[in-house]
Structure 1
Amino acid sequence: MRRSEAALGSAVFFALAPGIVAGLIPWWLTEWHMEPAPLLLRLAGALLTLAGVAFLLQAFWRFVSEGLGTPAPVAPTEHLVVGGIYRHVRNPMYLSVLSAIVGQALMLGQPRLLAYAAVVALAFVVFVLLYEEPTLAKRYGAEYEAYRRAVPGWLPRLTPWDGAKIPPKQ
């Protein structure tokens, strides 16, 4: 896949997946109505939301630039993506989306978004365990297994993984 195709496919997937999960549904649940909340909580929520979006954009860009593909299962990457934020955690997109939802909950003073974030988190974990990890193991073999052993799935490493122990794809 050419980089331009990967970028277009990733942009479409970005609008459809995280755009709906972290944008449209939270709006539908709250209509962005702000309930009373302390200013410090609102500021923390805004920072968490911005950080989530920034990390999500970086993770998506990695799929285009490093993987030459998209995060969408219908147009997967040609190469396993292990650079950038992926050196700290295997599931930065899911964590970024959850950060954006929790950040919106704090910013808007909307506890229902925290309940929604819990449901989304459960769905992410189930998807990763039942589909994503087996699919990546089948597609990338020993390369993915080495990465999986070195980089945690959900709690980021403080120091970036150096990637030195990944065997080449066969």
Structure 2
Amino acid sequence: MRTFSAIAGSAAFFIAAPGVVAGLVPWLLTDRWRLPWSRLPGLVPIGGLLIVAAVAVLLHAFARFALEGLGTPAPVAPTEKLVIGGIYRHVRNPMYIAVLSIILGQALLFLSWTLAAYAVIAAAVMTSFVRFYEEPTLARRYGSEYETYRRAVPGWLPRLTPWRG
């Protein structure tokens, strides 16, 4: 039953957080995606590929929280175990990176400076949240296990080889 609750909670949080930040807000900022497609050759497929790849990473990261951690990414329903498998062996913040990549992909798709500026603002908010709330909270909750993981796996630029801690 715990796994089902973790999956349901993660699905709800997926809609509430990345769904709003990378979906609803860009949709509203682009007048319901009515901006013209980019007229620069190559940006439309690059933007589309970035979005597709980022959505795949985001879904993988959410699944890790539910299945490996038996919890959700939501601060109100955290995982029972520290999530360090899968994509988390390469980078500590794949969800944030994926959400920012989705926004940037849309900025390329529509050649929207508004979305590019929004991505910069979202990145500042996310990095502040990680630095001042998430990292201290994880350190308190998981102690030395998190500290070992934090020292070995970068937060924002993925390592090429997976951490085998």
- TM-score, normalised by the number of residues in structure 2: 0.97
1: CA distance, partners of 2:74 / 2:39:
37
The code of the aligned residue for 1:137 comes to A
3-state secondary structure, aligned to 1:39: coil
Aligned twin of 1:2? 2
| Equivalent of 2:68 in 66, 69, 72 | 66
Where in structure 2 are there 5+ consecutive unaligned residues? none
| Equivalent of 1:50 in 49, 52, 59 | 52
Aligned twin of 1:20? 20
1:108 shift after superposition: 1.4
Aligned twin of 1:134? 136
The code of the aligned residue for 2:34 comes to H
3-state secondary structure, aligned to 2:162: coil
Aligned twin of 1:34? 35
| Equivalent of 2:105 in 103, 106, 109 | 103
1:34 shift after superposition: 3.2
1:135 shift after superposition: 0.1
Aligned twin of 1:168? none
Name whichever of 143-152 and 109-118 sits farther off. Answer: 109-118
1:90 shift after superposition: 0.2
Q: Percent identity?
A: 64
2:97 counterpart of 1:125: no
The code of the aligned residue for 2:51 comes to T
1:33 shift after superposition: 2.0
Aligned twin of 1:91? 93
1:79 shift after superposition: 0.2
Give the RMSD, CA atoms, in angstroms: 0.9
2: CA distance, partners of 1:97 / 1:51:
11
The code of the aligned residue for 1:134 comes to P
1:37 shift after superposition: 2.4
- TM-score, normalised by the number of residues in structure 1: 0.94
2: CA distance, partners of 1:119 / 1:44:
22
2: CA distance, partners of 1:45 / 1:137:
36
Q: CA-to-partner distance for each residue in 1:17-57, whole Å, 9 max, x for gaps?
A: 00000000000000212334223111000000111111000
Aligned twin of 1:77? 79
Aligned twin of 1:166? none
2: CA distance, partners of 1:112 / 1:33:
13
